[in-house]
Structure 1
Amino acid sequence: MVRFQRGEVIERREMLHGDLWLTTPVTVVDDDGDRLAVRLDPGSAFTFPPHPFGAHPWAHQSHWGASIVLQLYRSGDLYSVWKLFEPDGAFRHWYLNFEAPMGRGPGHIDTGDYGLDLIVDASGRRQWKDVTDLHHQRVEGRITAQTALDVLAEAARVEAALDADDRWWAPWDDWSPEPAA
């Protein structure tokens, strides 16, 4: 199994139907072989290789915006957990991004966005985002009907875990980005 070293810059690759659709560099914060933490920094460049499906929805953007993001992945999950910060390092909110389970390769991780997201603010209040994207992605042929059902089942499990205050990412509650030099 591929494991990454703290401080290593790797590519986060978004795949669609087995083909590369988007890449961006991220920096490894921690990797225990099962759980991976990477940091996405403001201004990180996006690359959009030509894809048989067409342009990526973010193809009009050349880079990541102003927020600092700690992205947490756990092997086998249909989502990753993002901890977003303002450019000055102030915590903004948690963001659960439903996506294909992370795959690892030399110098990269692979996933694929399913469109459904859940925002959890500092008080624990939740807000579902892009709920209709699952339907649109299925209709457009980006995901199958079975994938949509799997994502909805995973979303129900995540909600039940949050209701029970069972968050595997809780050890990262106190993490914040180092101040800019």
Structure 2
Amino acid sequence: MTGALLPPGSIAVRRDVFRGRVWTQAPVRVLASDETSAVAALWPGVVTLAAARFVESGGGRDKALRSAALDDLAGGGWDLAEWAWRWTGVVTEIVSGRWFSVARMYAEDGTLNCWYVNFERPPTWYASGWDTMDLALDLVVEPDGKWHWKDEDEYAQCRRLGVITDAEDAALEQAREQAVALVEARAGVFGADPARRWLPEAGWALPTLTES
């Protein structure tokens, strides 16, 4: 493939796919792209699809329902429901071959809340977007550079359930080291000025799944 993976300014779709079934589906606006990476944005009001039990949990806030959603995932039985994104603007960098994406999470006024490292399968690119699969573990990096792991309990649950294989676990061990090294070196997206604000431009329509 030559040129940009996705056309900047276009609407693409990010999907989590597990054993051939869609787990989540979200429309995003492509901000930038080249032959190996893309940067995409999502902001409050964008309607996505997610596993119904996850939606019922309030987007993951009810831990018991969130745990039950992972049981559904392992069992292969779930329905999708609409979920309107809320709380933050999100600008995410996705890189070919990398076992994590890095999102900048912005408050309503455009200030940076944190960097959010989402460990996931490397992207499979299409003309209309990409497929991946969330692997439960996250790394949260504060604007001052302090960081902590998130959802290690859910990662352990996914390992017990067989959702995450031994090979994926080994890949994530390396990915953890890579991500922490980038954070501590303030390299790549972590080198951006944390005082820089971001808001979607006033003329942008909300991305929708029907545009993809």
AA of the residue aligned to 1:71: T
| Structure 2 counterpart of 1:177 | 199
Residue-by-residue CA offset, 1:33-54 (whole Å, 9 max, x unaligned)? 2121000111221224898712
| 1:119 paired to 2:121 | no
Residue-by-residue CA offset, 1:96-117 (whole Å, 9 max, x unaligned)? 0000001111212111000110
**Are the counterparts in 2 of residues 43 and 66 from structure 1 also a CA contact under 8 Å?**
no
Secondary structure of the 2:119 match is strand
Unaligned runs of 5+ in 2: 53-72, 204-212
Residue-by-residue CA offset, 1:115-160 (whole Å, 9 max, x unaligned)? 1101111100001101122221122222112212221221022223
How much has 1:172 moved relative to structure 2? 5.0
| 1:11 paired to 2:31 | no
For residues 147 and 11 of structure 1, the distance between their equivalents in structure 2, rounded to whole angstroms, comes to 24
| Structure 1 counterpart of 2:166 | 145
**Are the counterparts in 1 of residues 43 and 200 from structure 2 also a CA contact under 8 Å?**
no
**Are the counterparts in 2 of residues 89 and 179 from structure 1 also a CA contact under 8 Å?**
no
Q: For this pair of structures, how many residues does the alignment match?
A: 178
| 1:168 paired to 2:191 | no
What is the correspondence of 1:1-181 to structure 2 with a 5 Å cutoff? Answer: 1=1, 3-48=5-50, 53-55=76-78, 62-165=83-186, 167-170=187-190, 172-173=192-193, 174=196, 176-178=198-200, 180=202
How much has 1:93 moved relative to structure 2? 0.6
Question: Please, what TM-score do these two structures have when normalized by structure 1?
Answer: 0.86
Percent identity for Structure 1 against Structure 2 = 26
**Are the counterparts in 1 of residues 112 and 197 from structure 2 also a CA contact under 8 Å?**
no
Instruction: State the structure with bigger RCO (CA 8 A, min sep 6), 1 or 2.
Output: 2
Bigger helix fraction: 2
